[in-house]
Structure 1
C-alpha cells in the first residue's frame, strides 16, 4: 500500500511538472511566431539577421541559466525554484507590449527566456520522485512538455490574426499578456499543490558540485543534446518563415506545418524513454544519430533549377545553310533535326525532372565547315523539393530527435545519480545554446547562400560529428574493458 501511495504521489508531481514545463516551453518559443508576424505585417522592419537574433535571444537565457538553476534545484528543491521562476518570468511578458524598438524587444525577450531553465528544474525534480527502473519513462513523459512549442505554432498565429482584426497595428500586444497570465496561474498552482523534495546529498558545496563537470562524458552528452534539443528548438521557430518563403504558405498554414514538426517530436519523447529503459540509451542514440545523418542529407537538397550545356548539333558536311527553323537546319540538301524547347514542367514532382533542347546559332545563307556547331545544347534540371515530401522528412527527423532527447537524459541518472541537477543543467545548457546559436547560424547561412535549405547542411555536419565521436568513444571503452578480445578480433581480420 505504501508503494502504491508513493507512486501515486510521484505521478501527481510528474503531472504538475509536465504541465508547468509545457507552458514554459510554449512561452520560450513565442518569438518564432510573434517576430515573424510583426515583420510580415510591416509593424517592425527587422532584417534577416535581426530576426535570427530575436529568435535566439530567449533561447540564450534559458541556456546559460540552466546550470545555476539546476544547482539551486539540487540545493533547495524544485517546488520553490519552479514556482519562483514561473511567477518572475510573467513580468517581462506583461511588459513586452511596451517594446517599440529592436533593443527593448531583445531585452524583454532575454528576460522572459528564463522560462527555458524550467527543464533543468524539472529534470532534477522529476527524477528524485522515481526509482531507477522508472526514471527513463518518467523523464520521457516530463520531456513531452517540449510539445509546448506545438501549442505556440498552432494557436499563436490564429490568435494574432484574431487580435488584429479590430486593431491591425496593436492587436498583437494581447498575445504576450495571455502568455504572461498562463505563467502566473501555473506558478500559483505549483506553489499551492507541489511538494518540495531535495537530493539526499544536497549539503555538498557548489564547488564540489561543479567538479563533476570535468568529466568528458558530460560534454559528450551535451553535444548530443545540442543536436537533438538545440536543433529542435531552432526549427520549431525557423520552419515557419521557411515554409512561408519557400512554399508561399500563409502564416496560419506555416504554423500548422511547424506544429506537425514540434508536436510529434515532443510527444514521442515518452516513447523514447521507454525505448531507453528497454534497449539501453546507447543503442537508441546510435539509431537517432544515424537517422539524423540520413534525413538531414535529404532535407539539405534545395528547391532549384539548374541550366547547363547539353548535347548540341554539329554540321556533318561543309556547305551553305539553305533553311533555318526552330526544329531544323538544312545545309545544301541535307537536314539536321533540332530539338525545340519544351513547355515548362508543372510543379509538384517528387523527383528531379530533366529537359533538353537546342538553340540555333547559324543564319540562312551562312557558310559552315564540317563539325561546326549549328545549335548549342541546353539541359535544364528542375527539383521542386515537393512540399509534402519535405514536410514528411521534417516530421521524421523531429520524431528521431524527440526519441534522442529522452535517450540523452536517460544516461544522466545512471552515470551521475547524485548530481542530476547540475549535470542535467549543464547538458541542458549546451542544448539550449544550440537553440540559441542555430537560428543565428541559419540566418547567416541564408544571407550568404540565399538558400533556405542551407541550415540542413549544418545539421548534417554536426550529426556526423556526434556519430563519429560516439562510435570512437564506445569502441575505446570496449577495447579498454576487453583488450584481449579486441586483439583476437584484430588478428582474425588481418
Structure 2
C-alpha cells in the first residue's frame, strides 16, 4: 500500500508536469498572434485574432471525449505519450506559416494539446481512492498555470529571438522551441510512469457513451464552459486587452495576464480540498455568485462622457442685460447659474476608484435678447469620467480567475461521485464543453468589440453565463429539496412558525 501511494503521487506529479507543458503550448497564440499583429507582420483584424486564439482550443475541446475514452480503454501512459509526440509535429510546422489559413491549420494541429486534460484526469483518478480524488484532481488541474508560462515568458523569448524586435522574423524559432519541449516531455513521461486502467469491466463504446444521456453531464459541462472555457479565453484575450485599453507593452500585458493565470491554476488544488471538505455544490454556489458580482464590476468601461444635464429656464420675461459664468441678468435682476470648475481637467493623472462627475450650465442667449418666461437660458452639461484604473481592473480579474480556479475543481469533483466508472468519458465530455468555451468566447469577444467598440463588452457575456449557471443550479437544488421533503413544500407556511 505504501508503494502504491508513492507510485500514485509520482504519477500525479508527472501528469501535472505534462499537462502544464501542454497547456503552455495550447496557449501559444495568445502571445504570438498579438506579437505578429502589433509588429505588422500580419494584418489580421480583431475578429481574425479571436479566431486564431480560439482555433487551438476548438481542437483541444472536440477531441477530449475520444481522448478520455482511449485513456479508459488503454491507460494514460501510451495515450499521453502519443499525444505529446503528435502535437510536436504541427507545432514545428507553424514556424513555416505565411498566411492566416496556414497558421490556422497548424493551430488546429497543435491544439490537440488541450486533450491532455481529459487524459490526465482519467489517468490520475485511477490511482487515488474516492475520498482523495477531489484533492488529487485539483492538484492535477493546477497545470492550468501553464498558460502563465507562455504569457509570462513568451514576450521575453520573442524579444530575445527577434533581437529586440530588430529581426521580427525570428519569431519562427519560437514554435520550434515549444515542439522540442513537447518531445522531451514525451520521453520523460514514457520513462517515468506505470500504466494503469480502471479496475472495472472493459465496456464497448456505446456502453461507455451511455452516461452522456444524463442531463447532469450537460449541466456540469455548462458550469465548466464558464469556469474553464472562459478562463482559457481570457488567458489569451487579456493580452490584447491590456495593450489596447491601457497602452501597456507586450511584456507588461503578458505579465499581467500571467497574474490572472497563475493563481487560477494553483488555487485549483485548494478548490479540490474545499470540495472534499464542504461538498462541490456548496462551493459552486459561491463560485457562481462571485463570478456574477465581479463580472458586473468589470463591465463598466473606461469612459469620458459629456451629456445633457439640468438646464436653467427664465423665471420671468424680459431683456438679457448681462451674462457671466455665474449669472444671467434679466431686467437688471441677476440669476445664478452653475459655473464650470474644471475639477476633472487632470482626472486622468489622478487615482479614482469610483466614477466621478462634474455638472455646469452654459448660456445659450446673448445680451440684448428678448426672452419669455420658462425659455431655456442656459443648457446643462454633465461630464462623467471613469478611470477603470488598471490596477483595480487587474486585481478584480485575478480574483475572478481565482474563483474560476476553485470552480474548475468543484465541477470535476462531481464526476467521480456520480460516474465513478466513466470518469474518462464524462470528464472528456465536460472537458469538450469547457474547451468549446475557450474556442467560442474569443470569437464572440471579437464580434462584441467590433459591434460596440468597447473592450469591456466581453464581461457582459461573463455576467450572462454566470446568471444562467447559477439559476440552473439553484433550480435543480430546489427540486431535489422538494422531492426529499414533499411535506415541507406543501406545508411551508405552517412549518415556518
- 2:391 aligned residue (388, 405, 408): 388
Instruction: Give the secondary-structure state (helix, strand or coil) at the position aligned to 2:347.
Output: coil
Query: Aligned partners of 1:491 and 1:444: how far apart in 2?
Result: 53
Give 1:346's aligned residue.
Answer: 347
Question: Is 1:363 aligned with 2:366?
Answer: yes
Query: Aligned partners of 2:220 and 2:143: how far apart in 1?
Result: 20
Per-residue Cα deviation, 1:333-369 (whole angstroms, up to 9, x for no partner)? 2223333333224123110111011111111221222
Instruction: Give the secondary-structure state (helix, strand or coil) at the position aligned to 1:358.
Output: strand
Per-residue Cα deviation, 1:363-416 (whole angstroms, up to 9, x for no partner)? 122122232222111111111111111111111111110000000001111111
1:33 and 1:157 in contact (8 A); partners too: yes
Residue 188 of structure 1, CA deviation: 0.8
Question: Is 1:231 aligned with 2:230?
Answer: yes
Give 2:378's aligned residue.
Answer: 375
Instruction: Give the secondary-structure state (helix, strand or coil) at the position aligned to 1:143.
Output: helix
Query: Aligned partners of 1:336 and 1:202: how far apart in 2?
Result: 90
Give 1:90's aligned residue.
Answer: 88
Give 1:102's aligned residue.
Answer: 100
Give 2:71's aligned residue.
Answer: 73
2:321 and 2:367 in contact (8 A); partners too: yes
Query: Aligned partners of 2:264 and 2:249: how far apart in 1?
Result: 23
Distance 1:202 1:72, change over 3 A: farther
1:180-195 correspondence runs (5 A): 180-195=179-194
Per-residue Cα deviation, 1:285-340 (whole angstroms, up to 9, x for no partner)? 11111111111111111111332222222223322222233333222322233333
Give 1:122's aligned residue.
Answer: 120
2:488 and 2:495 in contact (8 A); partners too: no
Give 1:287's aligned residue.
Answer: 286
Instruction: Give the secondary-structure state (helix, strand or coil) at the position aligned to 2:334.
Output: strand
Give 1:269's aligned residue.
Answer: 268
Instruction: Give the secondary-structure state (helix, strand or coil) at the position aligned to 2:328.
Output: strand
- 1:151 aligned residue (133, 141, 149): 149
Query: Aligned partners of 2:398 and 2:324: how far apart in 1?
Result: 51
Question: TM-score normalized by structure 1?
Answer: 0.97
Instruction: Give the secondary-structure state (helix, strand or coil) at the position aligned to 1:363.
Output: coil
Query: Aligned partners of 2:427 and 2:201: how far apart in 1?
Result: 15
Query: Aligned partners of 1:105 and 1:202: how far apart in 2?
Result: 43
Residue 454 of structure 1, CA deviation: 0.9
Residue 157 of structure 1, CA deviation: 1.1
Matched residue pairs, number? 492
TM-align CA RMSD:
1.4
Residue 202 of structure 1, CA deviation: 5.1
* More off after superposition, 406-415 vs 158-167: 158-167
- 2:139 aligned residue (138, 141, 148): 141
Give 1:19's aligned residue.
Answer: 17
Give 1:203's aligned residue.
Answer: 202
Per-residue Cα deviation, 1:200-236 (whole angstroms, up to 9, x for no partner)? 2352001110111101111111010000000000000
Give 1:462's aligned residue.
Answer: 465
1:74 and 1:202 in contact (8 A); partners too: no
1:169-180 correspondence runs (5 A): 169-180=168-179
Query: Aligned partners of 1:202 and 1:193: how far apart in 2?
Result: 27
Per-residue Cα deviation, 1:116-148 (whole angstroms, up to 9, x for no partner)? 000000000000001111111110000000000
* More off after superposition, 329-338 vs 434-443: 329-338
Instruction: Give the secondary-structure state (helix, strand or coil) at the position aligned to 1:453.
Output: helix
Residue 34 of structure 1, CA deviation: 0.5
Query: Aligned partners of 2:289 and 2:320: how far apart in 1?
Result: 60
Question: Is 1:44 aligned with 2:45?
Answer: no
Query: Where do 5+ consecutive residues of structure 1 fail to align?
Result: none
Query: Aligned partners of 1:323 and 1:213: how far apart in 2?
Result: 80
Give 1:411's aligned residue.
Answer: 414
* More off after superposition, 478-487 vs 75-84: 478-487
1:127 and 1:135 in contact (8 A); partners too: yes
Residue 490 of structure 1, CA deviation: 5.1
Question: Is 1:428 aligned with 2:431?
Answer: yes
Question: Is 1:247 aligned with 2:250?
Answer: no
Query: Aligned partners of 2:493 and 2:84: how far apart in 1?
Result: 57
Query: Aligned partners of 1:138 and 1:154: how far apart in 2?
Result: 26
Instruction: Give the secondary-structure state (helix, strand or coil) at the position aligned to 1:170.
Output: helix
Instruction: Give the secondary-structure state (helix, strand or coil) at the position aligned to 1:268.
Output: helix
Residue 491 of structure 1, CA deviation: 4.4
Query: Aligned partners of 1:493 and 1:454: how far apart in 2?
Result: 44
